[in-house]
Amino acid sequence: MGAAAIFARYALGGAGPLTVAALRLSLASAVLFGIGAIFRERAAPISRTQRTILIAAGVALALHFATWIASLEYTTVAISTLLVSTSPLWTTLYDAVARGRRFPLVVPLAFISGIAGLALVTSSNHSLPPHPGHAALGAALALSGSAAFAAYLLLVRDVRSELSTRAIVTTTYTTAAIVLVVAALVAHQPPPGLNSYAAWGGIVAMALVSQLLGHTGINAALRWFSPTAVSFSTLLEPVIAAVLALVLFGETLSGAAVAGALLLLGSIGAILWIAPD
């Protein structure tokens, strides 16, 4: 998953963000349906309530990919990936506010330090040449993607013990694909040309590697771990993305941004370590 932003950056060279997200989810869904057809697996029945929850989760997943991939047009890979990885902050905040869960004092202190790190990163953010002066928009889109992914994790949490991983991802990926295809058509974002090899390569890599292996692995892990604990595994994603972006695109971070990133990741790690579900 750490390479997802790199694949997306190549894909955005030939298509708009909604189309890139739509093709990513459509290809992943097609593979899942193909696997089901080949092995002729009989899926367990899904109740109306479960299907409603999964459809809602699919809409949240569509919003996650649409906003996060769009953020890569306005800010660097490292900052976009860092900000979209803050979903543990929002799942913890939801549990505290909506579920009335009480946490040790260390958790709110870590939350405050995480917000401080977030502010330091966004204040050091800089826009990309194609869209000068829109760094704040890129940060806002990445944070929106983070909140949407937190919603996805919380929704899937309600059904993960009742349904198989394949049932969950097939329904949510397909729902997200449909939503994104409609959005791309409405926004008049066509697919890449057949000779846009880099763009298609990025899209296929996102579908097969980042989506089917990375995100499906996260969904599988939800069967044994909480959404907050699963999010712990994503803390390396912005680090890997930053290194790859430096090597491939020459994208660098300021000292203030690095300090803010360390503070933010440390705060998220502390929250996950001290207050798992």
Phi, psi of 42 (to 5 degrees): -90, 110
Q: Do 138 and 127 form a contact (C-beta atoms < 8 A)?
A: yes
Would you list the domain boundaries of the chain? 4-274
Question: Which parts of 187-222 fold into alpha helices (H)?
Answer: 197-205, 216-221
What is the average per-residue pLDDT within 94-118? 81
Residue 40: the pLDDT is 67
- For the chain, the first-to-last Cα distance in angstroms comes to 24
pLDDT band, residue 23 (cuts 50/70/90) = very high
Residue 44: the pLDDT is 64
SS3 state at 182: helix
Q: Exposure of 250 by Cβ count < 10 A (0-12 exposed, 13-18 middle, 19+ buried)?
A: exposed
The residue that leads in pLDDT, 233 or 25, is 25
Residue 228: the pLDDT is 61
- Give the count of beta carbons closer than 10 Å to the beta carbon of residue 52: 12
Residue 132: the pLDDT is 59
DSSP one-letter code for 105: T
DSSP one-letter code for 235: G
- Give the count of beta carbons closer than 10 Å to the beta carbon of residue 56: 17
pTM of the full structure? 0.86
Residue 173: name the closest of 10, 35, 81 by CA. Answer: 35
Q: In the predicted model, is pLDDT for residue 61 greater than 80?
A: yes
Q: In the predicted model, is pLDDT for residue 54 greater than 90?
A: yes
pLDDT > 70: what percent of the chain? 90
Q: List, for residues 167-219, the tens digit of each pLDDT value.
A: 888 899 999 999 999 999 999 999 999 999 999 999 999 999 988 888 788 77
Residue 153: the pLDDT is 86
Average pLDDT, the chain: 85
Q: List, for residues 213-243, the tens digit of each pLDDT value.
A: 887 887 777 667 765 666 666 777 888 888 8
CA gap 225, 219 in Å, rounded:
10
* CA 144 to mean position of chain CA atoms: 10
Q: In the predicted model, is pLDDT for residue 160 greater than 90?
A: no
Q: Tokens for 119?
A: 């502010």
DSSP one-letter code for 3: T
